[in-house]
Every structure is written in structure tokens, then in C-alpha cells.
Structure 1
Amino acid sequence: MNREQISKLAHTHHPIKSPLNDDSVSSLLAKALPRGDERVLDLGCGSAEWLLRALATHPDVHAEGVDISESDLEEARQRAVRLGVDARLTLHHQKAEDFTSPHPFDLILCVGSTHALGGLLPTLEAARDHLAPGGRVLIGDGFWERTPTPEAIEVLGDFADLSTTVDRITAAGWTPVQGHTSTRQELDDYEWSNWGTLADWALDHPTHPDSPQVLDWATTRRTEWLRTYRATWGFATLLLRPTPA
């Protein structure tokens, strides 16, 4: 079982692949889609959960998603058909950095997927190229709530604190107009769901050849979370507009 398959399995009960609960997602989408007829792009959409929710709740929205995982995109296609929104969803199997479009977008999403474009600021630069006048960007990324240990940086990467993160965003020409900082409950629920789901699957399939690998992965990641970064890592989702020159 490769990392993509393990990730898909881990998110079985938490399809938003970031530490946000359903109410937070709904609130952010309501703020990001003020007209209700926007054209939306998700860079690194995975199984397109954000897009599917936007389409299901806003019948005049049209959406496009870009991802390198054909299995995730196929899952999104099937769910779109079941939800009756497939006519308003277009999916592209390619790298986000290679995506081009003949038209701009009113809302660009990248929540928990900035690594697909090289990080937070490169993602914002890519989004700017696709953004329509008056458009918005909804971006979600991690930050350090407290000074991390070297071990935490090794596991998760080199983030900044929240104030520095926002300073970098504003210096790059963006103005935050809304935001959500994931609560401790959201952060914990996300981690427990991921690693608990993997452990459950392994214990339910003891004779499966991948069972030991999956259980070891779940145990390792749960331990890293509890011992290495739980006390220091946070997640913020920001709604941004370009700052006038």
C-alpha cells in the first residue's frame, strides 16, 4: 500500500483533508462565495470535497479541480454524479503548477495542499495568475503556535508563527478579509480520525498482507503527533483579496 492509498484510507471519516469541522467548512464557503454564482478553482483538489460541497450548496456555482491523483479524481467524478452536480464540475488530471485556463476564476481554493505548488507564497503567486478581478483566494496552511522542537520541524516542515505568516502574506500583496484558526478540538479530531481509522482497518483485516504496514504507520504517526507536534502546531484558513497596488 503506497502513501496515496494510506492517505485515502486515513481520511475515510474525515474527507476534508485538513483540521476543519463541517461547520467551519460551511462558514468559510459561505464567506468565500458571496454572490453564489462564482467560478471556482481548487489547486490540489484531491477528491474535490471542497468543490462538491460548494456545488451542492450553491446551485449556480461552477467549479474546476486540479490534482495528480487519478483515483481521487475518479472518486470525485462518481460523487459528483450521485450529488447531481457533475454538469458543473470539471476535473483536470495534471500538476497544479502546469494548469492553464482560458478563463479566470472568482474563487481559488488551496487548503492543506500548498505543498503541491512549493509552499504558501508560491501558491499565492500561482493563484494570482488565475484570479478574476475582484476575486478571492481561500488558502489553508500550518503554523507554529509555539516554538517547535527540531523534531517537530523535521516531521512537519519549517512553518512560521501565525503573525509572521500573515505578515508574509500581506507583504506579498494580499489582504485577509476573513479567517479561521482551527480549534484544539478540530486539530485533535483530525488526528484521532486519521490514525484511528488506519488502526481500525488494520485490526479488522489481520490476514491482509498490508495490515502490519498500516498498523505500524498509524502507530508511528499517532506517536509523532502526541509526542512531537501536538503542543506546537496549528492550522489557519484565510480568505484573501489582492491588495490594490
Structure 2
Amino acid sequence: MDRQRLSRLAHARHPIAAPLADESVARLLERATAHTEVGRALDLGCGEGAWLVRALAARPRWRAVGVDLDAQALTRARETATAVGVVRRIGLHHADVREFAAAEPFDLVLIVDATHAFGGLRPALAAVREQLAPGARVLIGESFWEREPSRAALEALGAARDDYADLATTTGRLVRDGWTPVDGHISSQQEWDAYEFSWTGTLAEWALDHPEDPDAAAVREAADRHRTEWLHGHRGTLGFVTYLLRRD
């Protein structure tokens, strides 16, 4: 089935499409926007706009731009922004994040669990350097190895050992590239488990509630497969870190 539709269904109860709890998101956004009362934020791979809508709701003098290839997710982002009362301060663009260029720089750029669109963490950061205003922050989320991955974990993820590094190595590479972590968050096992239960459970329940839908069997199969890959593969092996970075 359409992978974008599958993702929208899976994240219906967890619009922050990453293993972070609401309180973790709130703290990161507070730190990421505290340096200026008036600012501009850009979310590359914004999906349904959950990060930006929350940022704008907390910062009435900020404006934001979101970019994503999923047109229906952008429609939902606009609907949510309207309901929250921030739609006049957000611009949503149906475009490839690698090709998006704005006329003005941004005070905050977000790329949370979307670095794959650029080919990885470091290429993503290299791509946004020219988008940053002086003193800007980058809020970027990426996976890392909590422990040496087993063959079962790699097979479950469809990944290679070199796709990620451990946390120290990952952070060291960023520092050598000229970035300074000024804050961050390592997702707990509880956050990971809540995210995975929501992802798989929402899909399974949708399939149970829509047995006549042509995609019902595929959705249920995706939920069952992902649950097995998580519980018998990468649980406890794959970590997730969200950095708040500044350029040196």
C-alpha cells in the first residue's frame, strides 16, 4: 500500500513521529526558541506539522515554514494549525526538502527523524547551513546504536552496521564538523516502547475497524511484522537522540 498513507495511519495517535513524549517535545522547543522573542522556524520533513504548531502556539511572535512530500499530511497540518489558531503564521510547502530554498534565513531549523531524506545526519546538517540566521539553532533527531547490533536487529531494521554509530562517535563527528551541542535529549526505553506500541497498535486497530478496506490486510500485516521486528530485533539496541545545535 501507499507508504505515506501507512505512516499517516500509524502516527494518528502519536503525531510527533519519533520516540519522544510530549513533555520532552515541550522542553526541547522551549530551549530551541528561547533565544529570541521574534523568530522564524523551518521544519524539513514536517509531516503533519506537530512540531511547528506547538512552537507557534507557545511563541506568538514566531512564524514558521514546513516542507514535506506528503500532500495529505500537509493538509492535516493546515487543519491543525487552523484549529489551534496559528494558521496565519505558518506556510506549508509540498516539495522535496533537498530542493527547498527560502529567501530569508531561519532562527530555528528542525529535522527530526527525517535525515534519511538527505542521506544521513551529517549531509542533512551540511545542507541547512545556508538557511541559518546568525545565532540560529538546529533541532535534529537521529538514531544511534545503544549497543552493538545483532544480526537479528540489523535484519529487523533493514540496516547495515555502518548506518549508525554509538552516541559518543555520533556526537564527536558533529563537533568535528563545527557544530556545538547546547542541549539535547536521549529517548528513554519508555518513550521508545510507547511510540512502538502506538505505531503498531494504531495500525492493528484500524485494520480491525475497517475490514472491508482494500488496504486492511496490508495494514494488519505491517503492524504484525513491525511488532515482531521491534520486540525480537532492535528493542534496546537502537537509540534515538535529539540534538540542539549551534554553529561554532
Q: Taking structure 2 as the reference length, what is the TM-score of the superposition?
A: 0.95
Aligned to 1:141: 142
Residue type of the alignment partner of 2:108: L
Aligned to 2:214: 209
Aligned to 2:3: 3
Residue type of the alignment partner of 1:114: T
| Structure 1 residue 162 corresponds to structure 2 residue 200 | no
Distance across 1 between alignment mates of 2:74 and 2:61: 22
Aligned to 1:225: 230
Q: Superposed, which structure 2 residues align to 1:125-204 within 5 Å?
A: 125-154=126-155, 155-157=157-159, 158-204=163-209
Task: State the 1:156 CA deviation.
Answer: 4.9
Aligned to 1:118: 119
Distance across 2 between alignment mates of 1:5 and 1:51: 21
Q: The residue matched to 1:30 in structure 2 has which SS?
A: helix
Task: State the 1:206 CA deviation.
Answer: 2.2
Aligned to 1:23: 23
Percent identity reads 52
Task: State the 1:13 CA deviation.
Answer: 0.5
Distance across 1 between alignment mates of 2:181 and 2:143: 16
Distance across 2 between alignment mates of 1:214 and 1:208: 10
- Unmatched runs of 5 consecutive residues or more in structure 2: none
Task: State the 1:77 CA deviation.
Answer: 1.1
Task: State the 1:231 CA deviation.
Answer: 2.1
Distance across 2 between alignment mates of 1:104 and 1:231: 38
Residue type of the alignment partner of 1:189: A
Q: Taking structure 1 as the reference length, what is the TM-score of the superposition?
A: 0.96
Q: Superposed, which structure 2 residues align to 1:43-58 within 5 Å?
A: 43-58=44-59
Distance across 2 between alignment mates of 1:222 and 1:230: 10
Aligned to 2:108: 107
Distance across 1 between alignment mates of 2:174 and 2:4: 30
Distance across 2 between alignment mates of 1:6 and 1:225: 17
Task: State the 1:79 CA deviation.
Answer: 1.4
Distance across 2 between alignment mates of 1:72 and 1:128: 26
Aligned to 1:75: 76
Residue type of the alignment partner of 2:5: Q
Task: State the 1:209 CA deviation.
Answer: 2.3
Task: State the 1:97 CA deviation.
Answer: 0.7
1:137-168 CA deviation, whole Å, 9 max, x = no partner? 00000000000023423425321111010011
Aligned to 1:235: 240
Change (3 A) 1:119 1:98: same
Task: State the 1:207 CA deviation.
Answer: 2.7
Does the 8 A contact of 2:183 with 2:244 survive in 1? yes
Task: State the 1:205 CA deviation.
Answer: 1.9
Aligned to 1:64: 65
Q: How many corresponding residue pairs? A: 243
Q: The residue matched to 2:98 in structure 1 has which SS?
A: helix
1:56-91 CA deviation, whole Å, 9 max, x = no partner? 111111000111111111111111111111111011
Aligned to 2:41: 40
Does the 8 A contact of 2:16 with 2:50 survive in 1? yes
Q: Superposed, which structure 2 residues align to 1:78-97 within 5 Å?
A: 78-97=79-98
Task: State the 1:37 CA deviation.
Answer: 2.0
Distance across 2 between alignment mates of 1:241 and 1:194: 32
Task: State the 1:7 CA deviation.
Answer: 0.8
Which runs of 4 or more aligned residues in structure 1 lie more than 6 Å from their structure 2 counterparts after TM superposition? Answer: none
Does the 8 A contact of 2:115 with 2:142 survive in 1? yes
Q: The residue matched to 2:139 in structure 1 has which SS?
A: strand
Q: The residue matched to 1:97 in structure 2 has which SS?
A: coil
